[in-house]
């Protein structure tokens, strides 16, 4: 029995979701051989039907596919459906193996909840994994310093996952996440050797963002497309600009030009704009408090135009809110 698990790549919650799903499936459904493939948000088609080659195919922490080859699906993003037809297809599905709830902060905790309630899975042995996926994906840090200092094993693993360029690395890590404590995982030589360089890169990114960010009308805007920093810590803008409410950033990678849109978890006033809905207008998505848009590589002007429009909208909303 071969199960192919497609997960949100370069994402701690995505890797944890794949790990938890695999453990749940093995314990409560049947023993199987697992293969893992990361999925990324990019301009154009997100799925390749030819890759759904497992006896069962699962998607976790990523958008919905109406392909009949997909047998399991879990997601918690507000922007889970690419089209209204996809949403309708999900609503009519009677398999009892596809699940969606945007009220969960992390897909990992969502899978754990469904697996326990409907399939009798015991999540206690992976409680640490579930807790940290919820903290990291839900931005449940007590303050910006906790989010930026990267002291905990889970935070270091997040750096490793978000910066990874080796297609075979995360699948091996997923196998460890399903059964080993995070402190033990981060101390394994293959992972531990990556951390010092990533911490150095992290410190340099803070200094770059210190130069590039400034808060105006409740919103920070920055452009780092001249640096290879797509995996920067998304809380740094709030660490450097604690009074801001929103941030909009431009970054690049080999496969996309990205507009990141976020809100400050520690903002002095409540963020009221639904960022997922804004990003959806440009073909992106996410959650109410954080979202992103992917443009083709090199489409800097198109991405910059979208970013500037979003900045203007957020600043106008902030001024209107402040005037009330």
Does 75 share its domain with 10?
yes
Does 137 share its domain with 9?
yes
pLDDT tens digits, residue range 220-232? 999 999 998 777 8
The reply to whether 116 falls in a domain is: yes
At residue 127, the pLDDT reads 98
Domain total for the chain? Answer: 2
The reply to whether 146 falls in a domain is: yes
What is the bridge-based pairing of β-strands 98-100 and 72-75?
parallel
Residue 135: band (very low, low, confident or very high) from pLDDT cuts 50, 70, 90: very high
Q: Are 225 and 300 in contact (CB under 8 A)?
A: yes
Give me the chain's average pLDDT, please. Answer: 95
At residue 44, the pLDDT reads 67
pLDDT tens digits, residue range 224-263? 999 987 778 999 999 999 999 999 999 998 888 999 999 9
Segment 179-184 shows an average pLDDT of 98
What 8-state DSSP symbol labels residue 313? H
Beta-bridged to residue 47, according to DSSP, are none
Q: Is the dihedral of CA 321, 322, 323, 324 positive or negative?
A: positive
Segment 57-70 shows an average pLDDT of 97
Query: Nearest Cα to 3, choosing from 33, 25, 26, 24?
Result: 33
Ramachandran sector of residue 286 (left: φ over 0; alpha: ψ -120 to 50; beta: rest) = left
What is the bridge-based pairing of β-strands 2-8 and 285-286?
unpaired
CA-to-CA separations, 175 to 31, 120, 165, 168, in angstroms, rounded: 14, 22, 18, 12
Distance CA 90, CA 95 (A): 10
pTM of the model: 0.90
The CATH number of the domain holding residue 131 is 3.90.1640
Q: Are 119 and 28 in contact (CB under 8 A)?
A: yes
At residue 162, the pLDDT reads 92
The reply to whether 198 falls in a domain is: no
Q: What is the number of alpha carbons within 13 Å of residue 108 lying toward its C-beta?
A: 29
Segment 49-70 shows an average pLDDT of 96
Q: What is the number of alpha carbons within 13 Å of residue 30 lying toward its C-beta?
A: 7
Over its C-alpha atoms, the chain yields an Rg (Å, rounded) of: 19
The reply to whether 63 falls in a domain is: yes
Does 52 share its domain with 134?
yes
Domain coverage including residue 306: 212-323
> Is residue 203's pLDDT more than 70?
yes
> Is residue 45's pLDDT more than 80?
no
Does 70 share its domain with 33?
yes
Contacts (Cβ under 8 Å, ≥6 apart) of 87: 64, 81
Contacts (Cβ under 8 Å, ≥6 apart) of 219: 244, 245, 246, 247, 248, 311, 314, 315, 318
Q: What is the number of alpha carbons within 13 Å of residue 224 lying toward its C-beta?
A: 29
> Is residue 215's pLDDT more than 80?
yes
> Is residue 43's pLDDT more than 80?
no
Does 186 share its domain with 217?
no
The reply to whether 47 falls in a domain is: yes
> Is residue 42's pLDDT more than 80?
no
The CATH number of the domain holding residue 258 is 3.10.310.30
Distance CA 268, CA 125 (A): 38
Does 223 share its domain with 157?
no
Query: Nearest Cα to 266, choosing from 140, 156, 153?
Result: 140
Contacts (Cβ under 8 Å, ≥6 apart) of 133: 12, 13, 16, 17, 106, 107, 108, 109
Q: Are 86 and 79 in contact (CB under 8 A)?
A: no
Does 45 share its domain with 85?
yes
Does 149 share its domain with 265?
no
């Amino acid at each position: 029995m071969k199960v192919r698990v497609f997960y949100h790549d370069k994402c701690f919650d995505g890797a944890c979701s794949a790990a938890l799903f695999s453990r749940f499936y093995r314990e409560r459904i049947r023993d199987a051989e697992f293969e893992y493939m990361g999925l990324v948000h990019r301009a154009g088609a997100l799925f390749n039907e030819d890759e759904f080659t497992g006896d069962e195919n699962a998607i976790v922490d990523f958008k919905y596919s109406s392909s009949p080859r997909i047998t399991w699906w879990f997601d918690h993003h507000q922007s889970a459906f690419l089209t209204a037809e996809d949403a309708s297809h999900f609503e009519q599905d009677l398999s009892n193996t596809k699940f969606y709830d945007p009220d969960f902060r992390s897909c990992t905790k969502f899978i754990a909840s469904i697996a326990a309630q409907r399939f009798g899975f015991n999540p206690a042995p992976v409680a640490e994994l579930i807790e940290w996926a919820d903290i990291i994906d839900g931005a449940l840090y007590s303050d910006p310093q906790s989010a930026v200092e990267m002291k905990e094993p889970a935070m270091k693993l997040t750096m490793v996952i978000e910066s990874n360029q080796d297609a075979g690395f995360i699948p091996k890590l997923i196998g460890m996440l399903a059964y080993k404590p995070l402190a033990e995982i981060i101390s394994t030589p293959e992972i531990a050797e990556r951390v010092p360089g990533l911490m150095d890169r992290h410190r340099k990114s803070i200094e770059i963002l210190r130069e590039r960010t400034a808060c105006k009308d409740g919103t920070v805007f920055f452009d780092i497309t001249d640096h290879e920093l797509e995996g920067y810590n998304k809380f740094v803008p709030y660490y450097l600009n604690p009074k801001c409410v929103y941030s909009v950033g431009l970054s690049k990678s080999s496969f996309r030009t990205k507009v990141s849109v976020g809100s400050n978890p520690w903002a002095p006033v409540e963020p009221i704009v639904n960022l997922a809905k804004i990003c959806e207008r440009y073909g992106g998505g996410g959650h109410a408090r954080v979202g992103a848009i992917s443009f083709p590589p090199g489409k800097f002007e198109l991405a910059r135009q979208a970013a500037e429009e979003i900045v203007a909208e957020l600043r106008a909303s902030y001024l209107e809110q402040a005037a009330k």
